[in-house]
Structure 1
């Protein structure tokens, strides 16, 4: 794909990105296999059928994605595809990047140096005060502050950073304001900062959307600071994703008597840098090795020959999968197959709803 997309290419790109069971990993591999979204779309029904899908694959029509584009334009938002020069450099470095994002507001903020500040929704007054002050200090130091616009720490971080630049990443569409009382905050961020989402406008966030949202929060940032978090917390997922992406992870220590400090204290125990103020964050950024960037703008590999997997290989690979993530390389070794044939089989199984492809080269059996 070229750096600039025609209207027709943009529609095909979005149709492929919105197709049922096509996540970022399958999207990238389908582009690598077929060369462009239109060719991949034409092949999808047969790929899903031969891998054992029982019903038809849900592929959005051109009219449906044109309606999404119109809805975004009506909000004043911009769709940015991963192959375009305007796509944020930090997200383009992910393996793989999200195929598309919607941006409402100052999209130029997405290419500035950024730090994520995240934490508990039911946050203490002291934790919110710390997050607000840290975000203001980071903004004064030239950093954009990224968070998820949730109650508690997220909202405090956005408030502190608003005069300098802040990015809110949402699980639903860019117009999905949750909690409802954050509508004024959403409006201020859309005007002075930027609201970002991988989801279509109008979509209400579901539980499955938040891991994707957290991946974008960490992906946009050079460092992630966790202010308060219980031991089972979405903020800890963001911290784990940041570490996997090669970002810096910092945590604010707290009292062992406060359950909201258990997650952050455990992060420090596991090797996260201690954060007591902006100096700690800036010191971590000084040692930041830089993003493991792909060539920008993101380009899929040149189209390969159609390494279609035979049914016997698909079934051998499916039998190797379990709810425990395993690497594609390990699957290829166990199946005695080449990397290209294994990748082709896994994409077909994912289209059939029988496997789930995860970022970082991992795969699990899809839930029955």
Structure 2
């Protein structure tokens, strides 16, 4: 249920979110099962052992969690847990939401209507001009513009929305300015907009952090506009995540002679709405319903008991190809609560990977 955490509960929440093999899905399952992060932390070693883990599981100490909180405070940043009223409603509606979010700047922007604008890092001058102008027009229409502070289209979108409000989502910590030549833009956003990240302050982004960043970019937004993108592009990942999350996806058409238009033109072939200006985006947003209320998301449930035979049967059903949890329930011919509990144990042991969208693969 929605609640504001005490300092001790915040430390426990942070420790659980940073524990080894605890991703958003496992975290969500653990909180739903135990109700409190502290109780889940106490259960982790035994759950991992039952899942087949031979050694101990790495859990940050209270001192390490306190150090992360102190590092954020030095930056003037704030940690918001997914159970707290201030957590962005759009992100709380995801299945599952990120467990926590570091925020630096105007947190209130995160609950205003938002549109993401993303695209190529090596963008054309025309593409950057379009993104900058589109962001300015959307801002004047009351939309907050969300992007990833990358070179090219991202930076142009942030620049266009600076006067009206923009949110930069980072893969590293909220102090990880990448690329370095966007340092001035980062300072402007931190002062007048908002910078957010799932990662701890001081962390430098690695390749595995960017899919999580892209999920937050789309999750904060009611629509995602892709301005320029090659066929193998992180922007197309953001567009796919947006579609999975029930957000609107729009693409700017481009010349077939420009490789930066191949990704956007392909999105249009797949059914994305065309974007030739702000009016197209605003039209796509008409009639969209708000996000569901997250108040009862974290409800305490009775822990389900799992026997060894069922756990190993479920492990044998897993493969590198993701399959839905519902499909595993059918294949295992077992109660859903027991299957989900077994998957958490296997995940903590590193034998299963719980993916957003209810999918599971072998770990």
Counterpart of 1:153? Answer: 153
Counterpart of 1:92? Answer: 92
Mapped partners of 2:61, 2:220: distance in 1: 31
Counterpart of 1:240? Answer: 240
Q: C-alpha displacement at 1:89, in angstroms? A: 0.8
Counterpart of 1:300? Answer: 298
Q: C-alpha displacement at 1:301, in angstroms? A: 2.5
Structure 1: stretches of 5+ with no match in the other structure: none
**Residues 9-88 of structure 1: pairs in structure 2 closer than 5 A:** 9-88=9-88
Q: C-alpha displacement at 1:294, in angstroms? A: 3.6
Assess if the C-alpha contact under 8 Å between 1:138 and 1:145 holds in 2: yes
DSSP 3-state at the match of 1:224: strand
Mapped partners of 2:217, 2:199: distance in 1: 14
Assess if the C-alpha contact under 8 Å between 1:2 and 1:83 holds in 2: yes
Counterpart of 1:356? Answer: 353
Counterpart of 2:208? Answer: 208
1:329 pairs with 2:335: no
Assess if the C-alpha contact under 8 Å between 1:20 and 1:57 holds in 2: yes
1:316 pairs with 2:313: yes
Per-residue Cα deviation, 1:71-116 (whole angstroms, up to 9, x for no partner)? 0000000100111110001111111111100000000000000000
DSSP 3-state at the match of 1:229: coil
Mapped partners of 1:124, 1:198: distance in 2: 30
TM-score, normalised to structure 1, is 0.97
Per-residue Cα deviation, 1:168-197 (whole angstroms, up to 9, x for no partner)? 000000000111111111111000100000
Mapped partners of 1:255, 1:365: distance in 2: 41
DSSP 3-state at the match of 1:215: helix
**Residues 159-238 of structure 1: pairs in structure 2 closer than 5 A:** 159-238=159-238
1:338 pairs with 2:335: yes
Q: C-alpha displacement at 1:289, in angstroms? A: 3.5
Q: C-alpha displacement at 1:308, in angstroms? A: 2.5
Aligned CA-pair RMSD: 1.0
Q: C-alpha displacement at 1:313, in angstroms? A: 1.1
DSSP 3-state at the match of 2:4: coil
Mapped partners of 2:65, 2:109: distance in 1: 26
Assess if the C-alpha contact under 8 Å between 2:2 and 2:294 holds in 1: no
Alignment size in residue pairs: 363
Assess if the C-alpha contact under 8 Å between 2:2 and 2:298 holds in 1: no
Mapped partners of 2:305, 2:57: distance in 1: 18
Mapped partners of 1:115, 1:294: distance in 2: 20
**Residues 258-273 of structure 1: pairs in structure 2 closer than 5 A:** 258-273=258-273
DSSP 3-state at the match of 2:343: helix
Structure 2: stretches of 5+ with no match in the other structure: none
DSSP 3-state at the match of 2:42: helix
